[in-house]
Amino acid sequence: MAQVARQVVEKAGINVDELLKLLVKNASAELTTYYYYTILRTNLIGLQGEGIKEIAETARIEDRNHFEALVPRIYELGGKLPDDMKEFHDISACPPANLPKDKHDVMGILKVLVEAERCAVRGYTQICNMTAGKDHRTYDLALAILNEEIEHESWFSEFLGEGPSGHFLRRGETSPFVSKFLK
Amino acid sequence: MQPFIIYYMLKSACMKKFNKSDLVYFDGKNGRPAYIAFEGKVYDVSASFLWRGGAHLVLHQAGRDLTEDLQHAPHGPELLSRVKQIGIL
């Protein structure tokens, strides 16, 4: 634990135990989403499915990166991760991104993906709101993750035809916003 | 009178009425159902993954009127359309 780092956050008026619970729940969401996206990706087949497989894979890898980036901050603030993998799943800040009933329904899979990203966008917005101007390091991290989650939401939303597209698949490395926390 | 107005009047008349002290019991803990209120309507969130154990994302507890809380949430009341209204406050 980084004692002074925790003290300054408490002194700024943040309930650190509450913040830690939120960080752990969001880390759990990232890890479980990484798993569920693996299943979704493998079912993206055929002419339609293969077309979005790569973008689903990028979102999957970046969600795992988000988990990796959150873990050090949780321990710095004096928190810990669940000992039990099942608990991870059950405390997740977002519902399971299960396959739709028809597992080869590409539009159905896209709707699952976009809902998962929207849940994440809400979660990191909440953490940013809580920490803005008070816990600079957590804010910086949550904002970096939020930037990537918003892009993920946009990708899937645009594939669903919800509006004009302003985004492209990543060119180059994954996690352009979060990578500074992974070095 | 328009049929939809009659429908909503009948629906309201059939809804269970709660006051804030009734609502406290439905906190989602120890097997109790999880109910929340928003703008005079009571919703059953017991089956929602996001309300497991009667708490929503650490900060919100079932058994309460969350009208004020929702003003500060990162989402609007549109998400309540996913759960069933079971009464009025």
Supply the CATH number for residue B57's domain: 3.10.120.10
Q: What is the mean pLDDT of residues A66-89?
A: 96
- Annotate A2-20 with b (16+ C-beta within 10 A) or e (fewer): eeeebeebeeeebebeebb
pLDDT at A64: 97
pLDDT at B13: 61
Distance from CA of B25 to the nearest CA of A (A): 23
In chain B, the residue whose alpha carbon lies closest to the alpha carbon of A126 is B74
**ipTM value:** 0.80
Residue B58 lies in a domain: yes
pLDDT bucket at A176, cuts 50 / 70 / 90 = very high
* H helix or E strand, kind and range, residue B68: helix B67-71
Task: Give the residue ranges of DSSP H helices in chain A.
Answer: 3-11, 16-42, 46-76, 85-90, 106-131, 136-159
The 10 Å Cβ neighbour count of residue B32 is 14
Pairing between strand B16-17 and B84-88?
Answer: parallel
Residue B36 lies in a domain: yes
| Domain-located, residue B35 | yes
B54 domain residue, yes or no? yes
* A55 has a pLDDT exceeding 80: yes
Going along chain A from its start, the domains and CATH numbers come out as 3-181 (1.20.1260.10)
Q: State the residue range of the domain holding B47.
A: 17-88
pLDDT digits (tens, 9 = 90+) for A99-149: 999 999 999 999 999 999 999 999 999 999 999 999 999 999 999 999 999
**What is the value of pTM for the model shown?**
0.90
Q: Look at residue B3 and tell me if it is in a domain.
A: no
Which residues in chain B are closer than 8 Å to A121, comparing Cβ atoms? Answer: 74
Q: How many residues are there in chain A? A: 183
* Among chain A residues, CA nearest to B75: A122
Give the pLDDT of residue B81: 92
Residue B25 lies in a domain: yes
Q: Is residue B6 part of a domain?
A: no
The minimal CB distance from A21 to the residues B49, B58, B72 is found for B58
**pLDDT beneath 50: ranges in chain B:** none
The pLDDT of residue A56:
96
**pLDDT tens digits along A6-31:** 999 999 999 999 999 999 999 999 99
Three-state DSSP state, B41: strand
pLDDT for the residue numbered B12: 60
Give the per-residue pLDDT at B11.
62
Interchain CB contacts (distance < 8 Å): A and B:
30
Residue of B nearest to A121 (CA): B74
Write down the pLDDT at residue B7. 63
Task: Name the one residue in this structure whose structure tokens are 């590409």.
Answer: A106
Q: What is the DSSP letter of A99?
A: P
Look at chain B and report how many structural domains it folds into.
Answer: 1
Mean pLDDT of A60-84: 97
Which token pair is A105?
Answer: 């329904």
For residue A20, what pLDDT is reported? 98
Which residues of A lie inside 8 Å of B (Cβ-Cβ)? Answer: 18, 21-22, 25, 90-96, 121-123, 125-126, 129
